[in-house]
Amino acid sequence: MINTQLMIDYLSALSINNNREWYHANKEDFKKANAEFENLLQALMLEIGKFDSSILHNNPKDLTFKIVRDTRFSHNKSPYNPAFRAHISAQGKLPVPVGYYLMIKPGSQSFLGGGLFADMFKDATTMIRDFIAQNGKEWEKLIHAPAFEKHFTVQGSALKNVPAGYEKEHPQAEYLKYKSWYLEYPIKDEDLRDAEVFVAKAAELFQIMKPFNDYLNRALAGFQMPSR
């Protein structure tokens, strides 16, 4: 059995004691909670694999993000992000190709995500805009599918005006202003109590999300991650 309570308890304590002394004094608790998160990811991947086998080769360890924050350019100097996060895609945790995102953060701040969160990749933004401009009907059909509309709304930071090079009157003009196109489905703490129920529900939502991810991944075919 996966102990989700262990994750919630550890993250709740870390958010109250967000300092290096506490973190190092409770390193064993972190290891236990993190192991449970990896078990949860493994269970989730097996469920996702039933409708998207491209993700099955991943090792859960390689899909998670560090809990230690990079505070160099941030006003918030707390050293840790009290959340367990992972991105499951055909290429692991890289933002492209887009896949299935999970964040567990107590205080009902957890969510399931999909699509592209990355405002910093200008090439990716251009590729998606061009694709929507040329495949607008398919886009509309996707985002207005009843199951999709019931659970998701496309989010993302956007420009005030349609960017240069695209028709101002384009039927998808609103979406051409976007710099990111992503989905978030909020998860309450009590939704996490029973890991088995949670995994089944998350997989069901990710399956509804999949055509949206597939559309973006077709748009992003050939995208190269910028080299550092």
Q: For residue 52, which phi and psi values (nearest 5 degrees)?
A: -150, 90
Residue 134 has pLDDT above 80, yes or no: yes
Residue 97 has pLDDT above 80, yes or no: yes
* pLDDT value for 225: 84
Q: 71 and 151 in contact (C-beta within 8 Å)?
A: no
* pLDDT value for 74: 83
pLDDT tens for 143-165 read: 999 999 999 999 999 999 999 99
* pLDDT value for 70: 86
CA distances from 198 to 29, 112, 191, 193 (A): 23, 11, 6, 8
Residue 119 has pLDDT above 80, yes or no: no
Residue 120 has pLDDT above 90, yes or no: no
Contacts of 34 (CB under 8 A, 6+ apart): 64, 67, 84
Band of the pLDDT at 100, cuts 50, 70, 90? Answer: very high
* pLDDT value for 145: 98
DSSP 8-state code for residue 226: P
* pLDDT value for 129: 97
- Hey, where are the domains in the chain? 4-219
* pLDDT value for 227: 78
Q: Is 54 helix (H, G, I), strand (E, B) or coil?
A: helix
* pLDDT value for 138: 98
pLDDT tens for 60-91 read: 999 999 999 988 888 888 999 999 999 999 99
Q: Which CATH architecture has domain 4-219?
A: 2-Layer Sandwich (3.30)
* pLDDT value for 226: 82
Residue 118 has pLDDT above 80, yes or no: no
Percentage of the residues of the chain whose pLDDT score is greater than 90: 91
Provide the residue type at 54 as one letter: S
pLDDT tens for 28-72 read: 999 999 999 999 999 999 999 999 999 999 999 999 999 999 888
Closest by CA position to 104, among listed 87, 89, 82: 82
